[in-house]
Amino acid sequence: MTPARKLTNALMRLGPAVLPFADAATAELPLGRLLRLALFQVTVGMAAVLLIGTLNRVMIVELGVPAWIVAMMLALPLVFAPLRALVGFRSDTHRSVLGWRRVPYIWFGTLLQFGGLAIMPFALLILSGDTTGPLWVGDLAAALAFLLVGAGLHTTQTVGLALATDLAPAHARPKVVALLCAALLFGMMASAVLFGLFLAHFSPVRLIQVIQGAALVTIILNGFALWKQEPRDPNRTRTAPERDFRSSWRAYAGQGTARRRLVAIGLGTAGFSMQDILLEPYGGQILHLSVGATTALTALLAAGGGLGLLVAARWLGRGGDPFRVSAVGVGIGILAFSAVVFAAPLASADLFAAGVSLIGLGGGLFAHGTLTASMNRAGPEDTGLALGAWGAVQATAAGLSIAASGLVRDVGGAIAQSGVLGEGMNEPAIGYLIVYHIEIALLFAALLALGPLVREDARAEAQHRLGGDLAGRTA
């Protein structure tokens, strides 16, 4: 028996009580194969942490790059986010002599990530001014590196989710989604810890080693994840009908409530994402928490998100409505941000910690519910398009809301402290509180968008049951 087979058998014996997503495995998609497939999410999480967390700080503090240049570089991967629907559509309609639809796109996405990460540390060193040549070379090379990583990240995740949908039977998809989201969280948490340890004693050489090490790990893990996953079927790709993206998009967007679903995804994602760069500064500046205490907030957020994924998987696995799961997540998010808002006047670190945990819980429920709903609405020939649309809206809304949150906090805080809003509003917390109130408003708007979707699914379920009862009586 091979070591991989022994590991799979050992994991299966642990059972769902110890390994929560072990019951996501099916005869069509065994646990070992499913865990391998989930590795692409680990590399996506690693890239996200590297860009948004590690490099954000290193570029500004250690390399002395101006903050506005850093902001522009970190925003570049967002340029590719709206194209995820097109990438998914291309993977649906790809014609291959080998009979693969998804594998070529995941592999090309991996190569883009690898290429971007391979040249990035040298570009950053030039960007910091450590060169005798023209500085524009650093600007151009860094922009290219961030664009390549963003394009690869979005391509890999979009088509990887479509491949998981192809392989998993319909009844197991909620648990498969939960496992994939958990793999993303694991990749983010593990890489954050490792990057912090490796860069504790910073040097340019160490930066090159860490980023290029991440490039090597990306190509190894994604190659292992893809091995013997998608069955080859030359007849399927050779005989697939010719379709163009514009007509396919019109057909998809015209399906019932597809546009409302995308609007709800965008509003909810923006509502949960604006706080991403503000929670730790809020805890330190307003509640006077230590660095260690604010760093622990990331763990609380991740723990809440993991619990949300687990609850959603159990709920949906028992036949729950994904839109209802999403709506409950949004409701929890509203309560969570209310707790964060009241933590400032009450000077309560415990209330703040509870609010952060609930943000993770609500966000996990919402993300799982909307992704499962997108999977369920996808037909066998437009899975990539449907999941690409979900990813495009989700990634674009998250990026724009995070970028807007810093601007809103700074402008709102400056206006409040200028005295224009009155003496009672001249407080350091006002800038943060404006952002949190905007998030609450966005989540209420998401609830309004989700309401008709929940009712529609309830009517469809009632009609299905009525049809089954009539059929039983007729028989």
Q: What is the pTM of this model?
A: 0.75
- Residues 180, 4: Cα–Cα separation, whole Å: 20
Tokens standing for 404? 């807007």
Which pLDDT score, from 0 to 100, does residue 469 have? Answer: 43
Contacts of 439 (CB under 8 A, 6+ apart): 270, 271, 272, 274, 275, 333, 337
CA nearest 286: which of 436, 429, 432, 408?
Answer: 429
Contacts of 243 (CB under 8 A, 6+ apart): 93
Name the one residue in this structure whose structure tokens are 């009155």.
Answer: 422
| Residues 361, 307 contacting (CB under 8 angstroms) | yes
How many helices (H) and strands (E) in the chain?
19, 0
Which pLDDT score, from 0 to 100, does residue 2 have? Answer: 63
To 10 degrees, the CA torsion angle through 78, 82, 86, 87? 30
Task: Transcribe 58-122 into DSSP letters.
Answer: IIIIIS---HHHHHHHHHGGGGGGGGHHHHHHHHHH---TT--SSHHHHHHHHHHHHHHHHHHHH
342 exposed, middle or buried (CB, 10 Å; 0-12, 13-18, 19+)?
A: middle
Helices of type H across 94-203: 103-127, 136-167, 173-198
418 exposed, middle or buried (CB, 10 Å; 0-12, 13-18, 19+)?
A: exposed
Which pLDDT score, from 0 to 100, does residue 468 have? Answer: 44
| Residues 443, 330 contacting (CB under 8 angstroms) | yes
Please, what is the end-to-end C-alpha distance for the chain in angstroms?
51
- Residues 473, 475: Cα–Cα separation, whole Å: 5
Tokens standing for 84? 């995820």
Q: Which residues of the chain have pLDDT under 70?
A: 1-28, 53, 57, 60-61, 67-68, 71, 97-99, 128-133, 233-242, 256, 291-295, 378-381, 421-424, 455-475
134 exposed, middle or buried (CB, 10 Å; 0-12, 13-18, 19+)?
A: exposed
| Residues 298, 192 contacting (CB under 8 angstroms) | yes
| Residues 387, 150 contacting (CB under 8 angstroms) | no
**Reduced 3-state DSSP string for 223-247:** HHHHCCCCCCCHHHHHCCCCCCHHH
- Residues 20, 31: Cα–Cα separation, whole Å: 12
Residue 399 host element (H or E): helix 383-417
Tokens standing for 129? 């001014």
